[in-house]
Each structure stands twice: as C-alpha cells, then as structure tokens.
Amino acid sequence: MLADGVMLNIKNLKKYFPVERGVFRRVVDYIRAVDDVSFEIKKGEVFALVGESGCGKTTTAKLIMRLLQPTDGKIFFYGKDISLLRRRELARKIQIIFQDPFASLNPRLTIGTIVGEAIKYRLETTGERTETKKIREETKELLSRVGLPVNILNEYPHQFSGGQRQRIGIARALAMQPELIVADEPVSSLDISVQAQILNLLLDLRDSLGLSYLLIAHDLNVVRFLSDRVAVMYQGRIVEKGSVKKIYDEPQHPYTKKLLEAIPTSEPAAIE
Amino acid sequence: MWKIIWRRFVKNKLAMLGALIILSLAVVAVIAPLIVPFDPNQQDILHRLEPPSGRHPLGTDDLGRDLLSRIIYGTRVSLLVGFVAVGIAIIIGSVIGLLSGYFGGWLDALTMRFVDIMLCFPTFFLILMVIAFLEPNIWNVMAVIGLTGWPGLTRLVRGECLSVREREFIQAAKALGLSNMRVMFVHLLPNVMAPVLVTATLGIGGAILTESALSFLGLGVQPPTPSWGNILTAGKDYITVAWWLSLYPGLAILITVLAYNLLGEGLRDVLDPRMMVE
Amino acid sequence: MEKVLEVRNLSVQFYKGGKGIQALRNVSITLKRNEVLGIVGESGCGKSTLALSVLKLIPEREGKILSGEILFRREDLLRLSDEKLLQIRGDRISIIFQDPFTSLNPVFRIGNQIAESLALHRKDNLSTSETEKEIIELLELVKMPKPRDTMWSYPHQLSGGMQQRVMIAIALSSHPEILIADEPTTALDVTIQKEILDLLTELQKKLGLSVVLITHDFGIVSQICQRVSVMYAGSILEEAWTSEIFHNPLHPYTKGLLGSLPSRKEAPSYFQGEKRRLKAIPGQVPDPSNLPSGCKFHPRCPIVIEDCKLEEPMLREIIKNHWVRCIRAG
C-alpha cells in the first residue's frame, strides 16, 4: 500500500454539494465538485493540479486541508488516514498558502501576531514552553527566511504590497513546520516581477527545508517551471496525469491538448 | 491602523460634535452631586411651579423642586440605561450571532427562526407587557430593553460572519489548527464588530427614548428618582401653566438622542470597509 | 502608415488621501491605422489611467489631466467641448474593460444593452426590426453561439467569455475606428482567453480597426500586437516592434521582465536536479506617491550608476523604431 516515498495518497476522493430548492430545502441535485479523484505525492516533489475555473482543484485543496469534509474517499498521509488525526496534528503536517494576498491576512492583527500566533500554537501542541521572547526570535527568523525585513512585527497587513503579504503568508505556513505545503494559486494575483521572486522563494524553501508542494494553478507556464508531476483536472475529474515532460511534450487527452494550445506563445511571429 | 481611524473620525465634524456632547453629558452625570444647585428631591411647596429665574434657572416643578437639578440627575438615569441596556444587547447578540454565523447548519437555522419570531413583535408593546408583569424600576427597564434588543444585533453579526468567514485569513486560521473558539473570537469578531458598533451607538439613542417613554407612562423609573421621562409626566398636567416643565426635559432628550445619532452616523463613515483597502 | 491616434506628453495627476500622485508623466504613444499596439506594465504603471484618459473618463474629483494633447483626426480631444467629445466616445473610439460582468447592467437583457448603444451612436434611426437585425448581426460578428436566443438573456446567464463577446459587440456597434481594450482577458480562463484574442485579431483585420491593447501578460502581447510600449511608474521605458522587444530588449526593466517569465525558454524543469531559478528583479514597484529621484527604475536596476539617480532620462531612438529611456542603453 505504501510505495516508496509516498507522502500523500488521495484515493477516490469525492465532494458533492447538494443543490437545495424550496422552503424546506429539498435536495434536488448535486454539484460534483470533486468526482473520484486519486493521485499520490512523493516526498520532496512538486505536484501540480491544473485546470480552469470550476474544475475542482481548489475544492480538492480544501479537502486535503480538511477545511471541507469529503463526501467519499480517503486521504492518507504516510499511510495514516487524516480524518483520524486531530486538527492540530494535521496542521503540523500540511499547511496552505492562498491566492489572494489581500484576503489571506487578518487585517486587524499585526504581522507579529499573525506569524507569532502560529508559532505559539505549534509550541503549545508539542508541549514546549511559549516564551514571548522565544516566539519573537523565531518570528524574526521566519520573516528573514522569506526575504522580509525583521523590524515589521508591529505593522499591519495593509501597509505592505501584494508580494510582501504573500511572503508573510508563507512565513505563517512555515511556522507550523509542515512537511507538505498546499499552494493555492500562490502567484496569480502578483505582478510578473514579484511572481518570479516568489517562485524562486518557493524553490529555495523546498531545497533548504525539504518541503513538498501541492501546487494548484491555472497558469501553465508557472506549473511547468515549478512542478515535477502534473494532473490535469476537468469538471471534477483528473483527465490526465504524469511527469511534466510527458504532459507538456506528449499530451494525450484532448482537453490537455486544448489547454496547451491556448497558452499564448512567448515567441512572436514575424517582424512587421 | 487605529491612527487612521482616529484621523478620519476627527475630520468628521458632526461626529465630533456628537462625541463632545456625549462626553459632556457623561461628565455631568458623574459629577452631578457636585454641581447641582439644589437637592433634586428637596420640596419647596411655597415656590412650586415657578418660571425660570435667577434662583431656579429652569424653574420649579409641581412640588417646588428645582428643575435644573432634577434634569442633571436625570442625565445619570439616561446614560446608565443607554449603556447597560445596549451593553446587554451587544453581548448576547454578538455571541449568539457569532456562534450562529460561524457554525451554520441547524444551529443557525434554529436561531434565525427564533430571531425572526422575536422581531415580529412590536418591541415597545412587548416591553410594556413585560414591565406590566414585573415591578417597574430602572433595573428591570434596562434588562428588558436589552433583552428585546439583541435579536436585531444577532442578525447583523451573523450576516457579517457569513461574509467574513469565507475570507481566506479565516481559512488560514483554521488550517493552522486553531480551535473554533479562538478563530471566532480572535479572528472573526474584530472583523465583524464595525457595523455592530454603529448600530449599537444608534441604539443607545433608541434605548434612552424607550426609557423616557416608559417613565413617562409611569412604568419606568419611579418618582421621586428623577428621569427625563417622569418629569414629563408631571409636565403634561401643567403644560398650560408651566411650559418649562415640558420644554427642558424634552430638549434634554432631544439633544442626547441627536448626539448619539450623530456619533453613530459618524462611526458608520469612519469604520467603512473602504478603510481596509488603504 | 498614417497615425490614427497620437498622445503627446500626457500628464495626469490623481488625488489620494489629500496628496497628489502623478499617475502619468509625459506619456506619448502613437497608434497607426490597422495596427495593434500593446501597452504592457505591472500594477501602478499607469496603463489603465492612460486608457481612461484618452476618453476623459477619469472623474474630476479623482484626477486631473495636467498637460498634454490627444490628437484624433487632427483634433485635440482634451480641448473638445463635452458635446463633441460625446460624439467620439463610444462612437469613433470605443473601450472594453477587464471584467465584463461589472461592465454590463445586470437588470437589462443584453439585446437591450446593445440596442441602447445602437440608438445612441447610429445616425440613421433604426426601426425595431432593423435594430433587432443589427443586434443579431453584431452577435454573429463576435461569434456568439445562438444569437437569436442569447440576445434575450441577462448577463448573469452567460459565461465570462460570452459576456466579453457582448462587450465587444457593444463596442463595435458604432463601427468605431479605434478600440481600446483594457485587460480584456485577464478575468477569463485560458482557453476562453485564446478564443477572445483570436476573435479580436480577426475583427481587427476584418473591420480595419486600430487597437490599443493594455495588458500585463507578455504572452498576449507577443501573440497579437505589432508594436509594444513598456510602462513603469507612469512613463514609457521602452517602445519597439514586438519581435524586436522580445529578441533584443534594451532597457534593463524589459530585460528583467522577460527574464522573469517562466515560459518555454526558461523551462529547465526538463533538467532534473539542476538548480533552476528565474532571473527575478529585486524589490518592488515604487509607491506612486513616493517615487525615487532620477530614473524611476534605478533602485532595482542591475546596471545602475550614479548618474541614473540624478535626472530622469529622455526617450531616445537607439535603433530605428526602437526607443529606450535609459542612459546606459545602446
């Protein structure tokens, strides 16, 4: 059951949302957001789920984070069913970074609190002492690890740019010392020049901390750059799965081909 | 962050006016015993129903008591009722609204139906009915106003929760593994409080009006304790001969409620979610 | 080729929190007939401001046009009376925006919205049946599936791609000469994006339109634009033919941007185990209310020298038809 180095194992995952009608909320139909999805993520790899809006990739990410409960199917982390884990235990294994750097940070809390709270919580769950000084030190360390200045503990999110907020979000995720990070469209809302910085950062962190990533994205260029293996989703199902090279060079499924053809080339044609 | 709020607040002239008036009233209420020219309960039948003069700047009432002193003491009643009643409503309303909005499901459905039912009753008559059964005094009045006021706030808080809980920073907090209590009170609550503060401030004005009405009808603060409302009770009987007995307490109510409304409207502008974008 | 639109030295200022922010500083662009000009830049560079300014769509209490001229058919649009400007806006020069859903009125059927535009801009008074015919023709022009049915739909009943087609139909209803498209595909899925871009290219050729395409996506630019202007912090840093910019970028910012793209050339994911990184530009886009001295890009520039901090460089034609705002280029 546990092949070599398989960290996350998704088996026959389903999430159906009931469609209700009428005063008494009768269920008349289901939205099959995730419809029998299975894949594996190996330790140290970057696995991507690609697809267009509504394909179910974000729902899958939320199911893995247990922000939603699956209708059916199982998710295993190193062989353990994650639905049996306590929330705190799961939080130390899998963390998430979000797409919208503006919405993913609580506007009413300071940066120090946003990252510090995560650190404090982690220390509490491992039974270590939660000294304020220790937390501050670690907060600063995390901030510099993600490329931010360390003197920003008392500032608020709205004082920072999109790229900087995204880095803060990454620092928060790292505070729990997870093994797997689910990155839900981590660079879609960012300017191109900042995008490149964050992509580099994600790869640096992978190398220095031994992280694995589940990348959710719709930008095929970003996926190709970052990932080792890719699964293409369409209407809740995986239509094709394989190594990056195979998917991009020899796509089999017609939808995959359609997606690849739609990428605007970066090589302009003739000179006018 | 709070600096920005403060700066915007200060710029809003009307809100500042409201705040100033309320502040002054609060000061008056606190130091009332020190500044009253007469004991508000001291009767002086010889000088009953006297018009405003140097000795009694606002005149005297039907028992010869100095009106100014009674109105000053009335401030205490009004402010106390305003804060306590609305305070009760905020606490109950926010907690229930948070729980309902955060957990959703059957808890939410049940709560909302209950709230809907409560909101169907005309509040004032409901209060009248309840007070009729209970003994009319200031504590019961505050409790009843608070207990009939929380459903409206619950709806408000729950509505805000529904929109804020889907925002990504709440998801992130959950993903960190934080307990539901912590997510609700540390992360969700500060972000839903803004409209609550506005409504609550406006509600204080309403609570004061309600108390005044109840006292006027004899179901609120009982004489001899002065309340603007029960001064008006006496005023109505002598309105043709002693206009001051009706005008001055009426003015006091007007100014106070107006001040709260200005403050509330000002807060609404200042706490606008637009601020988040900056 | 003749120039159909010429913006000269346009400067626009915004008010934000009481402070004045220079959103555009002496920006000049030239659009030739039948050409697709791309304006590329990151957030805050002023590209959308430029689009809105051409048609004076910036509300007075938000921003002010400080100086410059916008020449269309030998008239300066900025000096025109409101009446005359209305004849051009939406009529000779049309604009489509990024999010079609918010640009369409949710309570009117799309047929009515197209009809409204027709009624406003077409000089010949069309009867109801003629209007209906025109609407169907327009919808067919933008390749809307089942035009006779969809014209009775409300915006929320249509997909994002279809809504954008409606926007294009409305924009084209007056047979304009110029179309300004402000990030028309950013909100759409990539397969729909391709359809809309193909549609725009086809329409441009068919109707002889001149197009200003505003975007942050170099991929789109390379696909359909003939000429490109790269904007940064309110001014144009480089301008050239598209393939020239891609094969021979001269400004360090343009080079940096192109190097940041994780597309085919830089995809060494095929080379397992190799340390692959993008050549990212350090730092971030400057705060418009607090721009650096001299060249606005100098704090992030890999080849900065002291002179760069002193004075903002002029736009120079380094190679024929290739303009660069950098003292170290060429």
Q: For residue B73, what is the domain's CATH number?
A: 1.10.3720.10
Mutate to test the interface with A, among C239, C241, C284 (most CBs of A within 10 A): C284
Instruction: Output C271 or C139, whichever has higher pLDDT.
Output: C139
Residue A123 φ then ψ, to 5°: -60, -40
Which of C221, C223, C280 is closest, CB to CB, to A193? Answer: C280
Domain that holds residue B262: 2-32+64-277
Which of A88, A99, A106 is closest, CB to CB, to B187? Answer: A106
Q: Which amino acid is at B62?
A: D
Average pLDDT over residues A108-137: 88
- Beta-carbon pairs below 8 A across chains A and B: 64
pLDDT at A172: 94
Whether complex ipTM tops 0.90? no
Residues of A in contact with C260 (CB under 8 A): 192-193, 195-196
Residues of B in contact with A98 (CB under 8 A): 168, 171-172
pLDDT band at C37 (very low <50, low <70, confident <90, very high): very high
CA–CA distance, A264 with C199 (Å, rounded to integer): 14
Which of B168, B177, B191 is closest, CB to CB, to A98? Answer: B168
Average pLDDT over residues C177-182: 93
The neighbours of chain C, by the rule of 3 or more Cβ pairs under 8 Å, are A
CA–CA distance, A80 with A135 (Å, rounded to integer): 31
Q: Does C321 touch chain A (CB under 8 A)?
A: no
- Please determine, for residue B185, whether its predicted confidence score (pLDDT) is greater than 50: yes
Distance (Å) from the C-alpha of residue B79 to the closest C-alpha of chain A? 30
Q: Do residues C161 and C105 touch, judged by C-beta distance below 8 A?
A: no
Distance (Å) from the C-alpha of residue A221 to the closest C-alpha of chain C? 5
User: Is residue B105 situated within a structural domain?
Assistant: yes
Q: Does C190 touch chain A (CB under 8 A)?
A: yes
The domain A94-177 belongs to what CATH superfamily?
P-loop containing nucleotide triphosphate hydrolases (3.40.50.300)
pLDDT in tens, C47-97: 989 998 888 888 877 888 888 999 998 888 888 888 888 888 888 899 998
Mark A163-202 as b/e (b = at least 16 C-beta within 10 Å): bbbbbbbbbbbbbbbbbbbbbbbbbebbbbbbbbbbbbbb
Contact A103 B168 (CB under 8 A): yes
Interface of A with B in 129-188 (CB under 8 A): 156, 158, 169, 172, 176
Domains defined along chain C, listed by start: 1-92+178-267+277-283 (3.40.50.300), 106-175 (no CATH)
The neighbours of chain A, by the rule of 3 or more Cβ pairs under 8 Å, are B, C
Angle, helix B228-237 to helix B67-103, in steps of 10 degrees: 130
Residues of A in contact with B176 (CB under 8 A): 91, 95, 117-118, 121, 172, 176
Q: Do residues B89 and B200 touch, judged by C-beta distance below 8 A?
A: yes
Strand partners, C241: C227
pLDDT at B274: 53
Residues of B in contact with A65 (CB under 8 A): 171, 175
pLDDT in tens, B198-240: 888 888 988 999 889 888 888 888 888 888 888 888 888 888 8
Distance (Å) from the C-alpha of residue A128 to the closest C-alpha of chain C? 36
CA–CA distance, C295 with C233 (Å, rounded to integer): 10
Q: What does the angle CA C46 – CA C51 – CA C57 come to, to the nearest 5 degrees?
A: 110
CA–CA distance, B247 with B258 (Å, rounded to integer): 16
Average pLDDT over residues C160-172: 91
Give, rounded to a whole angstrom, the gap between the first and last alpha carbons of chain A: 59
With CA atoms as reference, report the closest residue to A109 among B276, B9, B180, C284. Answer: B276
pLDDT at A2: 46
Q: What does the angle CA A251 – CA A253 – CA A254 come to, to the nearest 5 degrees?
A: 105
Which of C218, C278, C279 is closest, CB to CB, to A266? Answer: C218
Sequence-ordered alpha helix ranges (H) in chain A:
57-64, 87-91, 111-125, 132-145, 162-175, 192-209, 220-226, 244-249, 254-262
User: Is residue B81 situated within a structural domain?
Assistant: yes
pLDDT in tens, A36-91: 999 999 998 999 999 988 889 999 999 999 888 999 999 999 988 998 888 888 98
Strand partners, A217: A50
Mutate to test the interface with A, among B168, B171, B192 (most CBs of A within 10 A): B168
CA–CA distance, B166 with A104 (Å, rounded to integer): 10
Q: Does C265 touch chain A (CB under 8 A)?
A: yes
Residue A243: strand, helix, or coil: strand
pLDDT at B188: 86
pLDDT at C40: 94
Strand partners, C64: C13
pLDDT at A271: 42
Chain-centroid distance of CA A26 in Å reads 34
Q: What is the DSSP string of C120-164?
A: HH-SS---HHHHHHHHHHHHHHTT-SSHHHHTT--GGGS-HHHHH
Tokens of B239: 């309105």
Q: What does the angle CA C269 – CA C272 – CA C273 come to, to the nearest 5 degrees?
A: 115
Give the long-range contacts of residues C115-121, CB within 8 A, separation 24 or more.
C117/C90, C117/C170, C117/C173, C117/C174, C118/C173, C118/C174, C120/C90, C120/C91, C120/C174, C121/C90, C121/C91, C121/C173, C121/C174
Q: Do residues B169 and A104 touch, judged by C-beta distance below 8 A?
A: yes
CA–CA distance, C249 with C329 (Å, rounded to integer): 10
Contact B277 A158 (CB under 8 A): yes
Contact C262 A221 (CB under 8 A): yes
- Please determine, for residue A211, whether its predicted confidence score (pLDDT) is greater than 50: yes
Q: Do residues A184 and A58 touch, judged by C-beta distance below 8 A?
A: yes
pLDDT in tens, A3-38: 568 899 999 999 998 887 776 667 778 888 999 999
Which of B173, B176, B190 is closest, CB to CB, to A108? Answer: B190
Average pLDDT over residues A259-266: 81
With CA atoms as reference, report the closest residue to C204 among C35, C2, C3. Answer: C35
Average pLDDT over residues B241-263: 89
Q: What is the DSSP string of C2-64?
A: -EEEEEEEEEEEEEETTEEEEEEEEEEEEEETT-EEEEEE-TTSSHHHHHHHHTT-S-TTTEE
Mutate to test the interface with A, among C263, C265, C270, C277 (most CBs of A within 10 A): C263
Distance (Å) from the C-alpha of residue B270 to the closest C-alpha of chain A? 15
pLDDT at A36: 92
Distance (Å) from the C-alpha of residue A27 to the closest C-alpha of chain B? 15
pLDDT in tens, C105-117: 888 899 988 988 8
Tell me: cis bond preceding B224? Omega within 30 of 0 counts: yes
Interface of C with A in 230-259 (CB under 8 A): 241-244, 246, 256-257, 259
Contact C241 A272 (CB under 8 A): yes
pLDDT band at B169 (very low <50, low <70, confident <90, very high): confident
Percent of chain A with pLDDT over 70: 94
Q: What does the angle CA B119 – CA B124 – CA B127 come to, to the nearest 5 degrees?
A: 95
Average pLDDT over residues A213-242: 92
Residues of A in contact with C193 (CB under 8 A): 262, 264
CA–CA distance, A63 with A74 (Å, rounded to integer): 10
Which of B176, B187, B277 is closest, CB to CB, to A118? Answer: B176
Contact C284 A161 (CB under 8 A): yes
pLDDT at B3: 67
What is the maximum span of chain A, computed from C-alpha positions, in angstroms?
68
Distance (Å) from the C-alpha of residue A6 to the closest C-alpha of chain C? 19
Give, rounded to a whole angstrom, the gap between the first and last alpha carbons of chain C: 27
What's the Cα-to-Cα distance from C56 to each of B186, C167, C321, rounded to whole Å?
46, 20, 29
pLDDT at C156: 87
Residues of B in contact with A91 (CB under 8 A): 175-177
Q: Label residue B269 exposed, middle or buried (CB < 10 Å: 0-12, 13-18, 19+).
A: middle
Q: Label residue C320 exposed, middle or buried (CB < 10 Å: 0-12, 13-18, 19+).
A: exposed
Q: Do residues C290 and C234 touch, judged by C-beta distance below 8 A?
A: no
User: Is residue B49 situated within a structural domain?
Assistant: no
Contact B168 A100 (CB under 8 A): yes
Distance (Å) from the C-alpha of residue A195 to the closest C-alpha of chain C? 8
Q: Do residues C284 and A166 touch, judged by C-beta distance below 8 A?
A: no
Residue C117 φ then ψ, to 5°: -65, -40
Residues of A in contact with C218 (CB under 8 A): 192, 266
State which residue of chain A sits closest to B168, comparing Cα positions: A104
Residues of C in contact with A204 (CB under 8 A): 277
CA–CA distance, C45 with C235 (Å, rounded to integer): 7
- Please determine, for residue A161, whether its predicted confidence score (pLDDT) is greater than 90: no
Residues of A in contact with B187 (CB under 8 A): 106, 109
Residue A96: strand, helix, or coil: strand
Q: Do residues A139 and A115 touch, judged by C-beta distance below 8 A?
A: yes
State which residue of chain A sits closest to B189, comparing Cα positions: A108
Residues of A in contact with C270 (CB under 8 A): 244-245
Domain count, chain B: 1
Q: Label residue B243 exposed, middle or buried (CB < 10 Å: 0-12, 13-18, 19+).
A: middle
Q: What does the angle CA B79 – CA B81 – CA B85 come to, to the nearest 5 degrees?
A: 125
pLDDT at A136: 92
pLDDT at A41: 94
pLDDT in tens, C278-323: 888 888 888 888 889 899 999 999 998 998 899 889 889 988 899 9
Distance (Å) from the C-alpha of residue A161 to the closest C-alpha of chain B? 11
- Please determine, for residue C270, whether its predicted confidence score (pLDDT) is greater than 70: no
Interface of A with C in 1-40 (CB under 8 A): none
pLDDT in tens, B32-49: 888 888 888 888 888 888
Q: What does the angle CA A51 – CA A54 – CA A59 come to, to the nearest 5 degrees?
A: 90
CA–CA distance, B25 with B257 (Å, rounded to integer): 11
User: Is residue B45 situated within a structural domain?
Assistant: no
What's the Cα-to-Cα distance from A9 to each of A6, A77, A226, B201, rounded to whole Å?
7, 6, 21, 53
pLDDT at C265: 56
pLDDT at B44: 82
Q: Does C1 touch chain A (CB under 8 A)?
A: no
Strand partners, C223: none
pLDDT band at C140 (very low <50, low <70, confident <90, very high): very high
Q: What is the mean pLDDT of chain C?
A: 87
Contact B177 A103 (CB under 8 A): no
**C-alpha count within 13 angstroms, C-beta hemisphere, residue A78:** 7
Contact A172 B177 (CB under 8 A): no
- Please determine, for residue C239, whether its predicted confidence score (pLDDT) is greater than 90: yes
